[in-house]
Amino acid sequence: MEYHFLARDEFERRVADGEFLEHAEYAGNLYGTLTAEVERIFADGASAVLEIELVGARAVARRAPDSRSIFIAPPSTAELERRLRDRGTNDDADIVRRLKTADGELAARDEFDRVVVNTQVATACSELVDAVIVLCGAGDG
């Protein structure tokens, strides 16, 4: 899927017109998945994998109840904070906001079909691939 960057007023108009499968505001920015893009992928006979946050995942679950979901979690909130600080791209206020958001997201992990804990990137990637195969039914033979 390709990224499309829209002006805020265009994004909001398209939300009002019902063009998004899911959409959310995160850290002051608007994000969403256009329904037409997912339908195009399906028309090509492929599956769509969306990398979205909790609000978006809940919207997809409502609109596409046969969809499958995977929650990628940090090993702990302390480790998440360490990772955010080590990036050096966020100020203290932004880190506090992100951690508060993460608390709510982590509390919702049971809403997902599978949970992958990102302790080590290589291991988490392997578990993620395995989860996608199982959830998509590709591991059935």
46-58 pLDDT per residue, tens: 888 899 989 999 9
DSSP reduced 3-state for 72: strand
* Per-residue pLDDT reduced to its tens digit, 56-94: 999 999 999 999 999 999 999 999 999 999 998 989 999
- For residues 63 and 78, membership in a common domain is answered with no
Decide which of 25, 42, 67 is a domain's last residue.
Answer: 67
Q: What is the pTM of this model?
A: 0.83
When the pLDDT of each residue in the chain is averaged and rounded to a whole number, the result is: 91
pLDDT by residue (tens digit) across 104-133?
A: 999 999 999 999 999 999 999 999 999 988
| Displacement of CA 74 from its chain's centroid (Å) | 14
Q: Please identify which residue in the block is written with the tokens 């899927």.
A: 1
Query: Which residue, 48, 67, 86, sits at the end of a domain?
Result: 67
Task: Count the neighbouring beta carbons within 10 Å of the beta carbon of residue 6.
Answer: 13
Q: Do residues 39 and 101 share a domain?
A: no
Residue type, 129: V
Q: Provide mean pLDDT across the span 14-39.
A: 91
CATH number, residue 80: 3.40.50.300
